[in-house]
Amino acid sequence: RNGLMPNETNAAANGHSAEDIRWMTEAIELASQGRGKVEPNPPVGCVLVRDSVCIGKGYHQRFGGPHAEVEALADCDDATGATAYVSLEPCCHHGKTPPCADALIRAKVARVVVSVVDPFAEVDGGGIERLRSAGIEVVTGIAKEAGEELLAAYLKRIRTGMPWVIAKWAMSLDGRIATQTGESKWITGPASRGAVHELRASVDAIAVGMGTVIADNPLLTVRLSELAKVTAADKPNTETETSPLVRLVYSRSRLPDLQSQLVQTASQTPTWLIAGPQIANADLARLADHDVETWQCESADPIEMVRQSLLWLGSKDNPRGLAMTHVMVEGGSQLLGSFAAADQIDEVHAFIAGKCIGGRSAPGPLGDPGIKALSDATSLRMSRVDSFDNDVRLIYRR
């Protein structure tokens, strides 16, 4: 495995001191330990420093728990005169916990260094303002690129109301997801499929279209036997009590068979149907009797269905009662194509196998009409490259 690609932070060029960048980088690394446990809250880290020595550190560990600043202050005896490095602007609102800006003021820190300003309406610069009016020096934008990278999903949800969308596909070396006869099992090897289960364990929901339900009769769960194929160090933390993975089925006309694996296991694993407007209420009721949650979209337009369903998933109005932060689209090409056409693919995990398939009618990953001019192509940035036996996985992000 090759690990992360280096992310350039042109720190010195911005006039930021190397020391500020170093401590902020540590705060961001701490923050990342909360990933997968704090959502829909942002992962945040805090490091307290005096005379170039770390005197306390902490991070937001779980949804509803203390914020990073409070954890860091609890980790140190006396923060008087210290600099607090916080990866996100300290809050100034009374949420599940009291405002962190007040806690920092009470602790008499002299300086607060922030990476990303919090766009959350109840904060949105207010935390910085409160610190400044208490006479504390505040610097923002330190290691901003790395800070925003970690907060990308949170930032998207706060700004648009929609969860971050990861599109996952497996394809041949020549870019086909199936042969011309539709055969697709299996293009990539078992180690790659283990990595997919690892990814499933880290998102709120996985989405498939009806074509895939009919063709594959998939179960779409996280299977520990598959996870075991992933090296121990890369395993997600499955010990914390995060919400269970939700399976989403997008359906414009055809419905899943009551005997399908998805419907048969809906009482154990949450299964939600995103239905088009033409589907009859009686059919939805029949699925609801089998514990499938159903939500009907007012529009039959695939792009509108993507947008409206994402707004619903990203709100508290969904059956979980908690906004979703990460949704993974697993296929097929028609659903992936609709997400691409709606410009709602934020991250791609492309698994590529050492096989060539060929054939003009063998499909690629995106089944939308596509673009005509290259200048209209969505550009994503390379984030990571891994290899799994004879396959590679490319991760590109918006």
Show which residues are catalytic: 69
Per rule CB under 6 A, is residue 68 in the interface with ligand AOF? yes
Q: How far is the CB of 237 from ligand AOF (least distance, A)?
A: 18
Three-state DSSP class for residue 122: coil
Per rule CB under 6 A, is residue 157 in the interface with ligand AOF? no
Q: How far is the CB of 89 from ligand AOF (least distance, A)?
A: 7
**Crossing angle of helices 302-313 and 333-341, rounded to 10°:** 80
Per rule CB under 5 A, is residue 128 in the interface with Zn ion? no
Find the Cα–Cα–Cα–Cα dihedral 62, 64, 68, 70, rounded to 10°. Answer: -130
Q: How far is the CB of 121 from ligand AOF (least distance, A)?
A: 9
Per rule CB under 6 A, is residue 67 in the interface with ligand AOF? yes
Q: How far apart are CA 237 and CA 352, in angstroms?
A: 26
Stretch 338-397 residues interacting with ligand AOF (CB under 6 A): none
198 makes contact, choosing from ligand AOF, Zn ion, none, with CB < 5 to 8 Å by partner type, with none
CB 306 within 8 A of CB 342: yes
260 makes contact, choosing from ligand AOF, Zn ion, none, with CB < 5 to 8 Å by partner type, with none
Options 13-21, 95-103, 154-162, 389-397: segment touching Zn ion (CB under 5 A): 95-103
Q: How far apart are CA 277 and CA 85, in angstroms?
A: 50
Q: How far apart are CA 311 and CA 296, in angstroms?
A: 13
Fill in the DSSP letter of residue 91. Answer: P
126 makes contact, choosing from Zn ion, ligand AOF, none, with CB < 5 to 8 Å by partner type, with none
Three-state DSSP class for residue 73: helix
88 makes contact, choosing from Zn ion, ligand AOF, none, with CB < 5 to 8 Å by partner type, with ligand AOF
Which one among 37, 57, 60, 200 touches ligand AOF, defined by CB under 6 A? 60
Which one among 21, 31, 49, 100 touches Zn ion, defined by CB under 5 A? 100
Nearest Cα residue to 363 out of 170, 176, 173, 208: 176
Is residue 311 classed exposed, middle or buried when 0-12, 13-18 and 19+ CB atoms within 10 A define those classes? middle
Give the CA distances from residue 107 to residues 85, 94, 95, 100, 281, in Å, rounded to whole numbers and listed in that order.
14, 18, 20, 10, 58
The length of the chain is 398
Options 61-69, 157-165, 289-297, 351-359: segment touching Zn ion (CB under 5 A): 61-69
Q: How far apart are CA 271 and CA 205, in angstroms?
A: 9
Q: Closer to Zn ion by CB, 99 or 365: give it.
A: 99
Which one among 26, 69, 226, 347 touches ligand AOF, defined by CB under 6 A? 69
Stretch 84-143 residues interacting with ligand AOF (CB under 6 A): 88, 90-91, 95-97, 100, 118, 120, 123
Which run of H or of E encompasses 383? Answer: strand 381-388
CA–CA–CA angle 125, 126, 130 (5° rounding): 120
Nearest Cα residue to 224 out of 214, 212, 238: 238
Three-state DSSP class for residue 105: helix
Per rule CB under 6 A, is residue 44 in the interface with ligand AOF? yes
Which one among 73, 91, 112, 335 touches Zn ion, defined by CB under 5 A? 91
The maximal CA–CA distance of the chain, rounded, in angstroms, is 70
Fill in the DSSP letter of residue 309. Answer: H
42 makes contact, choosing from ligand AOF, Zn ion, none, with CB < 5 to 8 Å by partner type, with ligand AOF
Per rule CB under 5 A, is residue 116 in the interface with Zn ion? no
Tokens of 362: 């063998």
Q: Which residue is nearest to ligand AOF (CB)?
A: 95
Q: Give me the residues paired with residue 351 across strands.
A: 170, 393
Q: Which residue has the tokens 């806690």?
A: 103
Per rule CB under 5 A, is residue 130 in the interface with Zn ion? no
Q: How far is the CB of 160 from Zn ion (least distance, A)?
A: 23
293 makes contact, choosing from Zn ion, ligand AOF, none, with CB < 5 to 8 Å by partner type, with none
Q: How far is the CB of 39 from ligand AOF (least distance, A)?
A: 10
359 makes contact, choosing from Zn ion, ligand AOF, none, with CB < 5 to 8 Å by partner type, with none
Name the site residues for Zn ion (rule: CB under 5 A): 67, 91, 100
Name the site residues for ligand AOF (rule: CB under 6 A): 41-42, 44, 60, 67-69, 88, 90-91, 95-97, 100, 118, 120, 123
